[in-house]
A and B are shown apart, each in its own frame.
Chain A
């Protein structure tokens, strides 16, 4: 049982990385991207291929996964982000499906539907972090989540975060204030893609095998659901949402009711969550993180 909880926590961590990426894209940028699964897949396969075919260590494949995902983010983002938001949703949906199509068909590189097995385990100064040492793996995943959280949190409070918020609220107003809207949208998109690539990398070394079937549209919707449930534009909320969604998706196994509850139960529930949240609580459970500027008079240092 404890092992099962650890598994849920580890998956929550991996998905939390994707949710953080989705949050910068959708929560801050207001862009509906539906291909976190595609970037996730690219990250996983980068690690799997570099590690099995070229013998790279996990730590070397990690930046490669992030960079490659980011590049694909740029590739899909540049043409579509210049346009109105709705097209992005369809283009990214299509992109996610194409990634899976290519992984399924490019036999020489990805081994087709069979996927890639026997991915080497990551080690740190001789200490092998394998999926059987769940505590060690959990610590590693949590570290990644904390680092990503801190980085993205800082980023969201920086000039870029403010620019993105302005673009989200009113593109024309933002543009007239001198914000290059396409540039910031592409930044957000690429960053969101790269962190999903890192999540994919972790997933590859956790399950030690990758198959195209893992990276379905369902995953993208799940990640979206996490962000919507927690609250768009709030990284803590994204992580909370991830944990709740993971608990829901393992609920049948947790309660031992998996023979009673149909396998489609969780997907139907995700759909319901999206609709219900939009109608009754569009800001999510925690709501957007609002920052007030200049409200506090207790500023340290320097006179006014």
Chain B
């Protein structure tokens, strides 16, 4: 493999990984605080992609590619983030909040139910055929020293980097972020310290869902928008979260990028057939669970009796 080819795969892997990381953050944040897997996360991503698509098409109208399409793309993304944030909060309020003190199985089952409701409602309302998300810019690839980069890839890298850095700053530096970290450490103690745990949980769902919406829109530009698009991406993002150590925000970012690189290089270098690309993620999951179940950056949690 030449150096140019290597950088090509690196670029492809990084962009794919950036999207996985954005989605993995939602899983990991919810798991960190509520200790359960939000199965509906992948479907929120799908709803986000649909909302983005509709708003973008409405704003864009027939105008040619240019500044306006680019601006309307970002407006669409913002609208989609806000709506998905509200959707995530609503779902938490209706389907998960009553189950906070229930058995471990209850919220998981409820989440599967929500996931089913979302994906099938989307199929019912928006039809089963996939829709194309038009590029808001000229997506002609640029050739830099033999490495082909599309503007879309640059967009993915920039957007996911901005999102991740702002999230990191939010969690590390702000009051709300501090409250989140406290809630994740010990919910009851956090409550005793005067933290409004309900608000923190709502906020966590809102942020996670908003990030999922961004991930959904970014991935929809390459693969179309359809009602079951969230399932596979959601699963892989979950694997990324586990790889990085579920509950750990930097871990999820790293895990997402690592998984993206593994998938690209697995196909390119190891010669894994493209049809079995999806199984790479599960192979990684099984190996991680066997060798290091707490993930690369996770803490080993002692179970208290």
A160 within 8 A of B: no
The interface-forming segment of B4-12, B135-143, B184-192, B281-289 is B281-289
Q: With A91-B285, A278-B106 in contact, is A273–B113 under 8 Å at CB?
A: yes
Q: With A85-B104, A268-B116 in contact, is A279–B110 under 8 Å at CB?
A: yes
Cβ < 8 Å to B, chain A residues 61-99: 79-80, 83, 85-87, 89-91, 93-95, 97-98
Q: With A79-B290, A83-B293 in contact, is A217–B110 under 8 Å at CB?
A: no
Chain B residue contacts of A89, Cβ below 8 A: 37, 39, 108
Chain B residue contacts of A282, Cβ below 8 A: 102-103, 106
B72 within 8 A of A: no
Cβ < 8 Å to A, chain B residues 86-143: 94-95, 98-99, 102-110, 112-118, 120-121, 123-124
By the criterion CB–CB under 8 Å, are A275 and B113 in contact? Answer: yes
Q: With A85-B104, A275-B113, A275-B114 in contact, is A94–B285 under 8 Å at CB?
A: yes
The residue of chain B having its C-beta at the shortest distance from the C-beta of A31 within the complex is B105
Alpha-carbon gap, A26 to B104, bound state (A): 12
By the criterion CB–CB under 8 Å, are B112 and A86 in contact? Answer: no
A43 within 8 A of B: no
Chain B residue contacts of A268, Cβ below 8 A: 116-117, 120-121, 124
By the criterion CB–CB under 8 Å, are A275 and B275 in contact? Answer: no
Secondary structure class of chain B's binding surface, majority of residues: helix
Query: In whole Å, how far is A215's beta carbon from the nearest beta carbon of chain B?
Result: 15
Chain B residue contacts of A158, Cβ below 8 A: none
B172 within 8 A of A: no
8 Å CB contact of B105 from A32, A93, A94, A217: A32
Cβ < 8 Å to A, chain B residues 183-241: 231-232, 235, 238-239
A213 within 8 A of B: no
By the criterion CB–CB under 8 Å, are B37 and A91 in contact? Answer: no
By the criterion CB–CB under 8 Å, are B285 and A264 in contact? Answer: no
By the criterion CB–CB under 8 Å, are B110 and A97 in contact? Answer: no
B262 within 8 A of A: no
Secondary structure class of chain A's binding surface, majority of residues: helix
By the criterion CB–CB under 8 Å, are A270 and B121 in contact? Answer: no
By the criterion CB–CB under 8 Å, are A271 and B114 in contact? Answer: yes
Q: With A89-B37, A172-B303 in contact, is A32–B285 under 8 Å at CB?
A: no
By the criterion CB–CB under 8 Å, are B109 and A274 in contact? Answer: yes
A30 within 8 A of B: yes
Q: With A83-B289, A94-B282, A105-B275 in contact, is A264–B105 under 8 Å at CB?
A: no
Chain A residue contacts of B305, Cβ below 8 A: 172-173
Chain A residue contacts of B290, Cβ below 8 A: 79
Chain B CB within 10 A, most for which of A93, A217, A267, A275? A275
Query: In whole Å, how far is B289's beta carbon from the nearest beta carbon of chain A?
Result: 6
8 Å CB contact of A93 from B36, B235, B278: B235
A228 within 8 A of B: yes
| Contact flags A92-126 to B (C-beta < 8 A → 1, else 0) | 01110110010001000000000000000000000
A226 within 8 A of B: no
8 Å CB contact of A97 from B39, B94, B120, B278: B278
Query: In whole Å, how far is B31's beta carbon from the nearest beta carbon of chain A?
Result: 8
8 Å CB contact of A79 from B105, B108, B278, B289: B289
| Contact flags A227-246 to B (C-beta < 8 A → 1, else 0) | 01000100000000000000
| Contact flags A189-215 to B (C-beta < 8 A → 1, else 0) | 000000000000000000000000000
A224 within 8 A of B: yes
By the criterion CB–CB under 8 Å, are A278 and B276 in contact? Answer: no
B242 within 8 A of A: yes
| Contact flags B257-285 to A (C-beta < 8 A → 1, else 0) | 00000000000000000011011011001
8 Å CB contact of B116 from A90, A173, A267: A267
Q: With A94-B282, A268-B121, A272-B117 in contact, is A87–B106 under 8 Å at CB?
A: no
Alpha-carbon gap, A265 to B37, bound state (A): 26
Chain B residue contacts of A173, Cβ below 8 A: 305
Chain B CB within 10 A, most for which of A87, A228, A270, A274? A274
Chain A residue contacts of B282, Cβ below 8 A: 91, 94-95, 98
Alpha-carbon gap, A276 to B39, bound state (A): 16
Alpha-carbon gap, A278 to B123, bound state (A): 24
Alpha-carbon gap, A187 to B282, bound state (A): 23
By the criterion CB–CB under 8 Å, are B285 and A101 in contact? Answer: no
A17 within 8 A of B: no
By the criterion CB–CB under 8 Å, are A91 and B289 in contact? Answer: yes
Chain A residue contacts of B104, Cβ below 8 A: 30, 85-86
Chain A CB within 10 A, most for which of B104, B105, B278? B105
**13 sampled A-B residue pairs with Cβ under 8 A:** A30-B104, A79-B289, A91-B289, A94-B285, A101-B278, A268-B124, A271-B116, A272-B117, A274-B113, A278-B99, A278-B106, A278-B113, A279-B110
For the complex with contacts A86-B108, A270-B113, A271-B113, 18 further pairs of A-B residues with Cβ separation under 8 Å are: A32-B109, A34-B112, A83-B293, A89-B39, A90-B285, A94-B235, A94-B282, A97-B235, A98-B282, A217-B231, A264-B120, A267-B120, A268-B116, A268-B117, A271-B112, A275-B95, A275-B114, A277-B109
